Amino acid sequence: MTDALVDVLARRINHEKGDAGVVVVTSRRVARIYGRGFLDPLCRAIGAGKPLALPDGEDRKTWDSATRIFDKLLANRIDRRGWIVAVGGGVVTDMAGFAASVFKRGLQWAAVPTTLTGQVDAALGGKTAVDFGKGKNMVGTFWQPAFVCLAPAFLATLPDRELRCGLSEVVKTGVALSPRLLKRLEDCGEDILAKDHEKLCRIVAECAKLKLVIVAADPLDRGVRAVLNLGHTAGHAIEAAGGFQKWNHGEAVAMGLLVIASLAVECGKMKPEEKRRVYEIVERLGLAPRIRPGPEDAAPFLHLDKKSIGRRIQVIVPGPLGRTTVKTIEPGELLKEQYWSWS
Ligand code: GLY
C-alpha cells in the first residue's frame, strides 16, 4: 500500500506547496513501524528533512512537545508559505495542527491519521489543541487542514485497544446521526474487530462523511457541531477521574454514552430498548470495561467541561436513535446513581 500512498500524497503536497518548505511531524511509534516503508520515501518525495518523531501518549500532548515542533520549523527555516504534514494519531494531528495555526500566524497543513480515532474523528474538522492544567485540549484553535488523507491500511498495525477506542467514536456518530451506521456495527462488529480491510474502509468513509457534513455546517463549533460531543461530557470526566490511564478516551466516551442514554430514557427521549441496543453494541465491541467508575469519581471533573456555562453543563441528549437535543443541566442531574450502573 505504501508506495501508492506515498505517490498520491507527494503529488498532492508538491502540487499545493510549490517550492515552499515542509516539515513532517509524527510519533515515535509510527516512525518505528512506518519509517523506512513510508515516512522516509515520503520525506524524500516532498523535499522534507528527517521527520520529527514526538513521544507517544496523551500525557505528551504538552507545551513541551509543541515547542519541539516550533524548534523544528525554525531550524528548517519554514516561512509563511510553509507546510506541516502530520502523520500519526490524534495527539500528533492535534499538536501539529496547533503549531501550524500559530507559527508565523499560520501555515498550511495536511493530516494523515494513522489511528481509527484519527480517521473517524480527531483529524477531521480542524480542531487543534494541546492539553493544559487539568483540562484536556484546554488550549487550541480551529485551523482546517488543506486536506486529510484517510488510509485505513494503517489500521492493520493498530493495537486492538486503540482500534476499539476509535470504534467508540463510530458508535457515538451512529447514535447521534445514523441508525444505518449502528446497524453496520451490529452486522460487522466482529469483522471490524478482526480488522477486515473492506469493512474498515466502509466504516471510515461513512463516519467521516457524516462528520464532515456537520463540520461544514458549523466549522467553529458554535451550534450544530455540538452533536459530536455526545457522550463526551461524562466521558471527559471519566477519563480525568482515571488519570487518563485507567480508561482510554474511547472507553470513557462509551461509558459516557451509556450514562447520557440512561438520562435520555428517564426524560423520555429514548426508548429503553434503544438504550439496550446501544449497550449491546458497546459490550460487543469490548468497550464496557469490567472496572467502572461511579458518579462520585466523575463529579469533581464535570465542571472542567469546555462547554460548561457558569455552574451548569450543556449535554447532548440522544434519542430517538440518529437524533439528539441539547439540554443545559445541573451537574448533579448527570450524577444520579442509577445512570452509572448500565446493562
Ligand atoms: N470531536 C468533536 C468535533 O470535532 O467537533
Convert 69-83 into a string of H (helix), E (strand) and C (coil).
HHHHHHHCCCCCCCE
CB-based contacts of 32, cutoff 8 Å, min separation 6: none
Q: From the alpha carbon of 229, which atom of ligand 1 is closest?
A: 2
- The C-alpha cell at 31 is 516512525
Q: From the alpha carbon of 214, which atom of ligand 1 is closest?
A: 5
- Cβ atoms within 10 Å, residue 63: 12
Angstrom distance (rounded) from CA 95 to CA 51: 15
Angstrom distance (rounded) from CA 166 to CA 163: 5
The pLDDT value recorded for residue 343 is: 64
- The C-alpha cell at 258 is 451509556
**Residue 45, amino acid:** A
Do residues 315 and 264 make contact, with C-beta atoms less than 8 angstroms apart?
no
The pLDDT value recorded for residue 10 is: 98
The pLDDT value recorded for residue 306 is: 65
Residues listed for the chain: 343
Angstrom distance (rounded) from CA 223 to CA 237: 22
The pLDDT value recorded for residue 303 is: 74
The pLDDT value recorded for residue 307 is: 67
Three-class SS state of 27 = strand
Question: Closest Cα to atom 4, ligand 1: which residue?
Answer: 125
Distances in Å between the Cα of 195 and the Cα atoms of 78, 202, 215 are: 39, 12, 27
Question: Closest Cα to atom 2, ligand 1: which residue?
Answer: 228
The pLDDT value recorded for residue 138 is: 87
Q: What is the CA radius of gyration of the chain?
A: 20
Distance 137 CA to ligand 1 centre (A): 11
- Burial category of 251 from C-beta neighbours within 10 Å (exposed 0-12, middle 13-18, buried 19 and up): buried
Distance 212 CA to ligand 1 centre (A): 10
The pLDDT value recorded for residue 1 is: 60
Angstrom distance (rounded) from CA 32 to CA 36: 8
**Cα dihedral: 107, 92, 300, 272 (round 10):** 110
Distance 214 CA to ligand 1 centre (A): 9
Whether the CA torsion 206, 216, 126, 219 is positive or negative: it is negative
CB-based contacts of 194, cutoff 8 Å, min separation 6: none
Write 331-334 long-range contacts (CB < 8 A, 24+).
Answer: 331/299, 331/302, 331/303, 333/263, 334/233, 334/234, 334/259, 334/260, 334/263, 334/295, 334/302
Strand partners, 327: 315
- The C-alpha cell at 299 is 463529579
Which regions in the chain score pLDDT beneath 50?
Answer: none
* Residue of 229, 233, 314 best suited for mutating to test ligand 1, as the one with most atoms within 8 Å of CB: 229
pTM summary value: 0.95
| Pairing between β-strand 135-142 and β-strand 127-132 as defined by DSSP bridges | antiparallel
Strand partners, 113: 88
For residue 128, what is the enclosing H or E element?
strand 127-132
- CA angle at residue 104 from 45 to 211, to 5 degrees? 70
The pLDDT value recorded for residue 184 is: 97
* Residue of 115, 117, 220, 228 best suited for mutating to test ligand 1, as the one with most atoms within 8 Å of CB: 228
Do residues 38 and 73 make contact, with C-beta atoms less than 8 angstroms apart?
no
For residue 329, what is the enclosing H or E element?
strand 324-329
- Write out residues with Cβ below 6 Å of ligand 1: 121, 125, 127, 221, 225, 228
